[in-house]
Amino acid sequence: MKRAVIVTGVLALLALLLARTASAAVVMFPPLWPLMLAPTAFLYLAGTWAVSALLPIRRVWLARGVALGIVVGVACLAVLPLRLAAIAEFEAQAQITDIMPHTPIVLTGNVWIEEGYAFTTRVCDDLCLTVLDLDRVTSVTVADPDGATTFRLVPAAKADPAAVAAPRDPGGFVAWGGSGGDSGKVNAHWQARLAGPERLVRGDPPPRANVTYRLAAREVRRGDTIIARWANAVMSVPIIPPMLGMSFSGADSGFAAGPLTLAYELREAGPFRDSLHPYAFFGAVLALKNYDGLPDPPSDQIPGQSAASSP
């Protein structure tokens, strides 16, 4: 058994090295699948070897069988609270229902777009710019757990050059949100606007928001009231007996510790919407401008080029 522990330990180290240096697509290569099981096999074998040495049982095969049962049982008990908590959270999410407005929501005032993870850099993307283009919207605040940045459209003559910002992919919402038009034409439209009569500027957030979008929850709030929501319960539930898998790029951060993560089953309830871009929800419930009918971009404008502002 000592040899098996050493071999699986070496394979486990190779698997950890692979998880740190390779992409998730690598595990789709069939010859590498056994390698992904090496960390689990090593821990169970090492635990069985150690526990069997402590048991007052002379027959080696019996001692190892009892030790394996003890190791697996302890592992199951350790993971059971995580599993039960995940199942309880999933069942709570499954009780949440859709809230769909009878007419498209008309946005006014200060709009807050809230994301559940921290951005590297907060920028005004296609959703932000589409909302900011509405007549009755005065500002759009992009928020994450680390802070918030507010964007406004102002006349070029009144823009502070130090506060001028460039949007990211202005035409993207045409494809994701279904607001009509051609993305290349929308990009060219914004490039002309932000190089001509208007500027996109960043600043501090206003004291309150009139409407809040919560992207992760796919819901729209006015104050504390939810006025639109797409419900979709999806939860990763750790399996029992527990196994270890590879964590690539933080994809399994809920149960991850470095390159390792607990193997889990995916539970879902409600309409399957994971294939839909989150912005499709906002295109379905908001009263947005339709960008059909924009003129063709100039011949020197490359379709799909991101707009850039100049002070």
Q: Is 163 exposed, middle or buried (0-12, 13-18, 19+ CB in 10 A)?
A: middle
Domain borders along the chain are: 2-94, 109-229+278-285
Residue type, 235: M
Among 146, 102, 104, 105, which residue's Cα sits nearest to residue 122? Answer: 146
Among 288, 75, 66, which residue's Cα sits nearest to residue 174? Answer: 288
User: What one-character-per-residue DSSP string does 66-87 give?
Assistant: HHHHHHHHHHHHHHHHHHHHHH
* Distance (Å, whole) CA 145 – CA 17: 31
278: left (phi over 0), alpha (psi -120 to 50) or beta: alpha
- Here the tokens at position 113 are 């777009």
Q: Which residues pair with 222 in a beta bridge?
A: 225
Q: How do residues 94-153 score in pLDDT, each as one tens digit? A: 888 888 888 888 888 999 998 877 666 788 888 888 889 888 999 999 988 888 899 999
Q: What is the pTM of this model?
A: 0.63
* Distance (Å, whole) CA 215 – CA 281: 9
- pLDDT value of residue 276: 66
pLDDT at 271 over 70: no
Residue for token digits 């190892």?
64
pLDDT at 43 over 60: yes
- Residue 86: pLDDT band (50, 70, 90) is very high
DSSP 259: T
Q: Which residues pair with 262 in a beta bridge?
A: 244
H/E element, 257: strand 256-257
H/E element, 222: strand 219-222
